[in-house]
Amino acid sequence: MKALFFTREFPPYVYGGAGVHVEYLASELAKLMKIDVRCFGDQNEENNNLTIKGFPYDNVLFNNSNGKLKSVFQTLSTGIHMNAEEIDADVVHCHTWYAHFAGIVAKLCYGIPLVITTHSLEPLRPWKREQLGRGYDASSWVEKTAIEMADALIAVSEETKEDVIKHFNVDESKIHVIYNGIDLQQYQVTAATDTLDTYGVDKSKPYVLFVGRITRQKGIIHLVNAIKYINPDTQIVLCAGAPDTPEIGKEMEDAVNEVKKTRANVIWIDKMVTKEEIIQLYSHADVFCCPSIYEPFGIINIEAMACNTAVVASAVGGIKEVVVHGETGLLIPLEQQNVAPFEPVNPDKFSRDLAEGINTVIADKDLRDSMAKKGRKRVEDYFDWIAIAKQTEELYKSLL
């Protein structure tokens, strides 16, 4: 059997959880079958069962396009280029709306079964209009079309499955819940601390860590607004880059600069760090904070848990299936607006509650150590890529 992956992200160009998912799933599935990855970029390599080819954006053709629409046009064009080379796979598997158009074309033109993994859903990400303008209507149409014509859908959590049923015309029997996973050998506690030295983290003081893109979805602004309520001795390490728009990047910069006027121990690493660096940061953090306002799964939480770090996270989406409240971390209730953009009804209360959770865990070493131990055990029990790859293989077989 041979599977074809269509994806925007693949190493070395990974900026979010979907890219992490595709990287590890492809690697693990390649131990079971042939995997052909076609992605956005300039990759070109072959390693036993795994073949990877990048398709670069056509920058020249769209030079005169509207700024917000340019990436949409480039995405659709790249989807065509991905199909222009002959496809001989038994199944095509797409990840995020950026790759869905390629999957639609492959199913129609080559007649092979289409599998979609729903890493996130456009109807629940209305802030994307800030980034794409009317292109958000195009991305929503592409996603809806692909999901409703797919032969099988993979939801990364039970709540994501319910969201798919609510927002799309899909037979429930086609939806399969398969969690995200993690490489347990790679993500584990390390004693190395050179990364902390590089970025100026004081090893004698506790710190709370954030890892993620600068986007409305990840809720980082709410954590920045919570800093004034966090114990003054606690360092804040924000590993945050790749802003969705210049505007939200500026909003983040202004918020951090305002906090720094009265607090010196805020460290903002405004770039995408290496895996080795992030594993060090996870390993020595006293608390990992995930303040997302929308999160179908939240792979960053299992990365932190695998590195024996307690988690304080918003009680939304798939996070509630990952973090066990009171055992592996604390879940912070988030009362949200019931219409777009789904922000907190009371943002200051949410920020205060995040800070209270962080302060509680940092102040109680026994609780922190217990959460660290139980978090690692939970990841080992439920989120191993080996088992997830086998579930995915079985799904493919059921379609042939």
Tell me the backbone φ, ψ of residue 325, rounded to 5 degrees.
Answer: -60, 130
Q: What is the CA radius of gyration of the chain?
A: 21
Residues 256, 127 share a domain = no
| Mean pLDDT value across the chain | 95
The helix (H) or strand (E) run that includes residue 69 is: none
User: Is 57 a residue whose pLDDT tops 90?
Assistant: no
Bridge partners, residue 289, by sequence = 312
The answer to whether the CB of 229 falls within 8 A of the CB of 217 is no
Nearest to 362 by CA among 305, 311, 286, 265: 286
Give the pLDDT of residue 17.
86
Same domain, 228 and 87: no
pLDDT of residue 245: 87
Q: In the chain, how many domains are there?
A: 2
pLDDT for position 114: 98
Residue 210 and residue 313 in contact, taking contact as beta carbons nearer than 8 Å: no
Asked if 145 and 218 sit in the same domain, the reply is no
Same-domain pairing of 232 and 376: yes
Domain shared by 133 and 236, yes or no = no
Whether residue 167 is found in the same domain as residue 258: no
pLDDT at position 177 over 90: yes
pLDDT tens figures, 207-253: 999 999 899 999 999 999 999 999 999 999 999 988 888 889 999 99
Question: What are the Cα distances from residue 184, in Å, to 245, 389, 391?
Answer: 34, 14, 18
pLDDT tens figures, 290-333: 999 999 999 999 999 999 999 999 999 999 999 999 999 999 99
In the chain, the amino acid numbered 107 is: K
The pLDDT value given to residue 63: 87
Spatial separation of the C-alpha atoms in residues 290 and 311, rounded to whole Å: 8
Structure tokens at 98: 């950026």
DSSP tag of 290 = E
Tokens, residue 72: 């949409």
Q: Residue 307: give the domain boundaries.
A: 194-382
Of 127, 149, 178, the position where a domain reaches its end is: 178
CATH number of the domain that residue 133 is part of? 3.40.50.2000
Answer whether residue 341 shows pLDDT above 80: no
Q: Are residues 27 and 172 in the same domain?
A: yes
Question: Which has the closest alpha carbon to 255: 220, 284, 287, 283?
Answer: 220
pLDDT for the residue 15: 84
Considering the domain architecture, whether residues 73 and 165 belong to the same structural domain is answered as yes
Neighbouring C-beta atoms of residue 167, cutoff 10 Å:
16
Average pLDDT for 44-65: 91
Contacts of residue 68, defined as CB under 8 A and 6 or more positions apart, other chains included, come to 131, 132, 133, 134, 135
- What would the pLDDT profile of 131-161 be if each residue is shown by its tens digit? 899 999 999 999 999 999 999 999 999 999 9
pLDDT band at 260 (very low <50, low <70, confident <90, very high): very high
Q: What's the rounded Cα separation, in Å, for the pair 174 and 323?
A: 27
Tens of pLDDT, residues 93-112: 999 999 999 999 999 999 99
- Whether residue 127 is found in the same domain as residue 167: yes
**C-alpha to C-alpha distance for 323 and 4, rounded to whole angstroms:** 32
Confidence (pLDDT) at 368: 97
